[in-house]
Structure formats: C-alpha cells, structure tokens
Structure 1
Amino acid sequence: MVLGPSSSRLMQASSVFVEQVEVRDDDKRGVFLYAFSEKPELSYQTNWSVSDYVIVRSYSRKGFSFWLNKGSTIHMRWEAPTSTLNQLEVVMTKGERDLQTLLPEVTDSTDFLALHEPISGKEVKYTIEEDDKYYIGVINSNRRSIIMRVAINVSATMYDTTKAKSKCSTETGSCRLRLEFPNTHYVILTTPNYGNLAGWYIELSFIARVVTYIAILGFIVIVVFLILKYLGACEGENTIIDTEVTEVRQVTETDPIMPAKPIPYTYGTGEEDDDSGDSSSSEELYDAKLCVICYDEQRNCFFVPCGHCATCYDCAQRIMEGENKVCPICRRLIHKLRRLFHS
C-alpha cells in the first residue's frame, strides 16, 4: 500500500466480518491506525513541502507516488538548464495505472548538463477531486542526463481522528488493532510529515472473524436443506395424487362388476329367482357363476360401459363379432370387452 507524507487513508472494515487489522512498517516511521464507528469528516488541513536535487537519466523518467484526499492541492516547481527545459515534461496520473510513455531508445551516455549553465524553471498546480493514489513524474527527452531541482508543496486534506474509538502505532515496526464488535465500520491510516520524496510502502492485513463466516455457511446449508426437503415433499405429493387418480380410474371402470351382493341372472326368460327366503344352495351358487349363454364355462369377462359380467370370454367374443353388439342383460350397446382373471 502506497502512502506519502501527511497521508490520511480511509478504508471500510466492518467488525462483523473483520476481527483485527494489522499494519507492518519495516522503516518504523510511525504510522497510526485508527478505528471508528462512523465515517469521520475530511475537515483537517495540513501543509508539507520538500525540495531536492534529482537526476533524470536520458530518455527516462523520475517520479513520486502519494496518497491524497479530495480537496488537496499540489504545487510543483522544477528548475533545469535553459537549453533542456523545453525537453522536460511533467505528467500526473491517478490510480494504479502504470505510466506508459513512448520514448526514444535509451543510450548509455553518462554526460550530464552541468549546473553552471543558465537555469530557468517552470511550475504547475493540481487540485485533487477524488481520494486516490497519484503519481507525479518528470520525463527527460534529452540525449543526456539532467540534474534538476524539484520543489513540491502540498496542502493535504486529512480526516479528523479526534473521535476514534481506538488506535495503535507502528513505531516498533508493526501494530495490531482489535475492532470492537459490532459497531466498528471504518479504519484510517495516517502518516507524519517525514520530509522525504522517497516512496513509503506498508503492509495492511485484515484478520477475518471466523465465527461470522461459520454462521453464514451454516445458514446457507440450512437454506439448501429446506429447499431440497420442499422439493422432495412436492414430488411425494405429486406421486400420491397420481396414485389416487389411477386407483379412482380403476375403481370407476370396474365398480359395476363388483356389486354388494351376487345377483343371479337368467337369459331369455326375463325372470328372476323369487326364492330369497332361504340361503342359496351350492348348486345355485355354482349356476350363478356360469355363462348365461353356454352354461359350460365360468363368467370371466365383462362389458364396457355397462359393466355386466354374465358370459364367458368365448361367448362374449361371438356377441362382439355379431351384428347386434348388445349386452344380454341390459341390452346396452357394447363398446369394449374386458377379461377377468380369478386368483
């Protein structure tokens, strides 16, 4: 992570998911880490400046990286020999994008433009519109290296840290800040003004709150289980409904052939046995099961749609093959013939 002099960098770190934040600074320059429950305001202004001589080799560039917040301003002035000043270009980029500039092939020349040549300077000013990383670079298009003087003045906007819930410092090289559950939502890194243009890089680590992720995983497992259970229950209900519909259809087709009491039928006379006072003899029961046409075979089929079971299958076939396809009992037209199997 890139910082600079008097930097103030804000990051979101909800204590629901993050238990601790650790900062490592190998240079031990004293980075401060603050924790907040509410987002602080950009209300503090600080100024810092630095001036130094830099060497920009032929057909190359020299640059510096900073972290600046919205509202900050940068004023930069550079001085170089008059003969080469127009061949120096100052650029500024925002974000992590690398500056890509087409330059002539780099030479191995070690010639320098001496400082005793006439010196002149240029300056530029930038206003920062968004919190981000910024890079300021000087591009040398000369065939010789240049020794130039660079002066940078920055008016940096800082976050107000007076309402921080807790803080720690990297004066010993690293520090770890525990976030208070569940109200901490922001952390801020601030740096002092150490008066150096060299880059300053630190390591920032977020240590997860394991309990939260276990709870989320358990919730997802429960939801998946309930969904699968619901889908299984729906499939079971559909199977039961299909079975009941099939049974209803079977009962509807076969219901007329299963009366509550066996009724003996006669063919041709149209008379019924009036003797119902005594129980039927074995001979009558046997006759009631015989075909009413041939009186040889048992009744083993029924007619659709009337459902009467009065003949054997062979006699029923002869009725179906004849011109008058009617039931011998009710005289209804026969549509289909179904065989019965006795167990």
Structure 2
Amino acid sequence: MVMPCCSPHFLVLCVHDSDSWILRVCELAVGPNSSCLVKTNPLFVQSIKVQQLDEPKPGPVLYGFYKNPPLDVEITWTETHNSVVPIDFHKEWAHFLNKGSKVDIFYSIKSSSSSALSLVIAQGRESLVEWIDDPSYPNSTLSWNIIYGTGKIQQEILKSSNYYIAVGNLNSKDVEVELKFVIKAFIYNTSQAYYMCSVSHSLCSWKIYLLGTSVAVLTSPGSSDDNWYVKVSYGPRWITYFIGSGVMTILILLTLRFLNIFQASDRDGNQARETRSERAPLLTQNDISSQGSSYDSISQDGQDLDELLAVNSLLEGKVLAQGENLYRLCAICFDAPRDCFFLPCGHCVACFTCGTRIAEEAGTCPICRRTIKKVRKIFTV
C-alpha cells in the first residue's frame, strides 16, 4: 500500500508499510495546503475512513477517484513567523510537499549581529530527529545552514514527502528571528473526483471497489495558522483474508500429508533392507567349501591347493579318513574343520582357533594379505 500520508514522510504519528496486507490506524497532523495521495490495494482494503480528532473546524477533505489524478495544479502562498528561539532549543514547521515544489526562505535575525542560528530543511521526521540530536552537524538533512543577519535560502523538492523547516539556537542566550516562507507547490487536481467528504463534519468512509483502480487524495485549506489532527483507518476485505486463510490451511495440510507419506515409505524401505540383511547368509556354501574364497575375489587354482595340502599332510604323518575333503580342513592345523572367516576380505581357510591366532599375531589374511579386522565363527546346522 503506497501511503505517503501514513508513512514517516507525512507528519508523523505512525508508520505504514508500502503495499502491505497489514492494516494499521494512522493519526496525522495535517498542515496547510496539503495534498496527499492515498493508494490502497483493493484486494485487501474495502474502505478508507478519515475522522477529525481535535475540535471540529473547516479543514481536510477526502476525495475519491477511479484513476490517479494529475499533479498539475500550482499554488503559491507565503508564511511569516516571528519567533524567539530559547537556548539549546529549536522551532520547527512542517509541510507536505509534492515533487516539483519549491521553497524560498527569507530570514532576518533580530538579536545582536554576533548571534547565529542553525537552519535546516529535513525530509521526514527521522532526518529531523538526527539533526535535533546533533544540530552542529548536517547529518542526513536536505539542507543545513548557519545563518547570520539576513539572507535567503532556496530548496527544490525532488520527492513527494513531508518536509520540516527548523531553526536551532546554539548560543548562550535567546535569539529572535523573523522567517518568511514563500512556497510554490504542486497539488493534485480534484476536479474529476466522484467522491468528496469534508472531514470536519462527520466520519468520512469511502468504499473501494475490488476491480479497477481506487485512489484517494486528502487535502487541507491554505490557512497557515491552523493544523488539523485526523485519524486514517481501513476497512478490511474479509473475504480475501478468509479465502487466503483457507488456502494456507490446505497447503499446510497437504505438506504435512506429503511428509508423512515420505517418512512412511522411507521406514518401509529401511525395514525391508534390514529383513533381507538378517536373512541373507554371510557366506554361501560354495564360499565355505572353496579354497580361500572371498566376497570380492576369485579363488586360486583348486588342483594346486589340493596337491599342497596333501603334501603337507603326508609330511606331518597325518592320514585323511576315507572320503574326507581336504577343502573342509583348516589349512593351518589340518585337524579342525574350517569354521571361521576373516573380515573384511571374507576368506575362509582356517579353524576358529587358528584364525584367531593369525589375527592376533600376523594380523593379515594368509590368502590376500589384507588386514584382518575381525574373525567370525561359522556355525553349521
């Protein structure tokens, strides 16, 4: 929502986000000859309400348009201010000025010629507050000047906003000054407005159509001695919020459902893999009966190993029983059957006793020379 009137740039009492779906109440101090454009998002806002807070008196008027009104009406007015600025104090005057406006400031210090004042033109309240905190430094002010005697300061306005003209006294005594503002400003042409309501008479409530462009302009008369305090509020388009809340609820529910389905499928997959892992044998029968077979290697030539085992058996004076398979005996002691295998290579060439001794002493597999991390016993059923 683009709302210069309810932003920090327009006489200040609240902050309003541009193009926001958050509706806020703004209290405004409206100066002379103000002409502030109020653009709302009809998707979220159904009405604009303006009410005068101080004593009812002729003042601000709210206009409604179907499209943006032209900023082509030029007006000029003069303000004269005779002020005594106390020690370590300041005086300020606020105006809302649109792009293309010009300000001429004529000053005349009535006190002794040695007295000097700090005169600034600040865009927005924040810039003015920075100067108030440290009036001896320009900070972010639009124009910063040390004035003596008499003179003139000119300033062109490049952006529609709220502007403050202020003087500060850094002297050790009060200083009297005369200021004359000659302001040439551009204001919006309200001749094509289809809605008009005087805020001083009653609460003005302007209904905004959902389709098309809806623009409002808040204006004030040119009396330089008056300020008006008004409250600007908004009527929400509830159907938009209800529909939006329903859509968000559906999206959240769908997201949660998708996450539940994904987690369930992931759990089922993990359980299936665990079941297959538990049921699968560590070694197949072929691996157990093979000479030094492994999970990731091919066994050596069976005939060579058979001859080697037979020779070793004869040398040690051991006779094999009839039908006993050399490949089932421990290749180390030739007494016990092969009932263990090494990890991670998976070779099965020794009994559990010899395999354990090899792992503790040599630490490497006698077949592939890989480091033995664990010795697993094989139980036959």
Could you state the TM-score of these two structures normalised by the residue count of structure 1?
A: 0.63
Q: Distance in 1 between matches of 2:108 and 2:170?
A: 16
Sequence identity, in percent?
22
Alignment map for 1:27-106 (pairs within 5 Å): 27=55, 28-81=57-110, 83-84=112-113, 86-97=115-126, 98=129, 99-100=131-132
In structure 1, the residue matched to 2:5 is: none
Shift of 1:72: 0.7
**Does the 8 Å CA contact 2:111/2:177 hold for their aligned counterparts?**
no
Displacement after TM superposition at 1:183 (Å):
2.9
Distance 1:78 1:208 in 2: 48
Query: In the alignment, which residue of structure 2 is the partner of 1:19?
Result: 46
Distance 1:250 1:147 in 2: 97
Quickly say closer, same or farther: Cα 1:7–1:251, change in 2 above 3 A. same
| CA offsets 1:73-96 (integer angstroms, 9 cap, x no match) | 111223343634752332221111
* 8 Å Cα contact 1:2-1:66 kept in structure 2: no
Letter of the 1:181 counterpart: L
Paired amino acid for 1:21: I
Higher relative contact order (CA 8 A, sep 6+): 1
Q: Which residue of 127, 135, 139 maps to 2:164?
A: 135
Partner deviation per Cα, 1:190-242 (whole Å, 9 max, x = no partner): 1121232x544322222322222222222221111111101111122223334
Deviation at 1:134, TM superposition (A): 1.1
1:2-48 Cα offsets, whole Å, 9 max, x none, are: 43211112233112111221212224333122344544443222112
Could you tell me which runs of 5 or more consecutive residues in structure 1 were left unpaired when the two chains were aligned.
105-119, 254-302, 307-318, 327-332
Whether the 8 Å contact between 1:305 and 1:336 is mirrored in structure 2 is no
Contact 1:43 1:159 in 2 (8 A): yes
Q: Aligned-residue CA RMSD in angstroms?
A: 3.7
Partners of 1:67 and 1:124 in 2: CA distance: 19
Q: CA deviation at 1:162?
A: 3.9
Aligned pair partner of 1:8 in 35, 38, 41:
35
Gaps of 5+ in 2: 1-27, 137-148, 287-327, 340-348, 350-376
Secondary structure of the corresponding residue to residue 132 of structure 2: coil
Q: Which residue of the other structure, out of 176, 187, 205, is the alignment partner of 1:176?
A: 205
Q: Which residue of the partner structure matches residue 222 of structure 1?
A: 250
User: How far does residue 156 in structure 1 lie from its aligned partner after superposition?
Assistant: 1.0
Q: Secondary structure at the match of 2:32?
A: coil
Residue type of the alignment partner of 1:152: F
**Alpha-carbon distance change, 337 to 67 in structure 1, aligned in 2, over 3 angstroms:** same
Question: Contact 1:53 / 1:150 at 8 angstroms: preserved in 2?
Answer: yes
The aligned amino acid for 1:8 is S
Matched residue of 1:20: which SS? strand
TM-score calculated relative to the size of structure 2: 0.57
CA distance in 1, matches of 2:105, 2:68: 32
Q: Tell whether the 8 Å contact from 2:51 to 2:231 is kept in structure 1 after alignment.
A: yes
Q: Which amino acid aligns with 1:220?
A: M
**Maintained 8 Å contact 2:115/2:175:** no
The structure with the largest alpha-carbon Rg is: 1
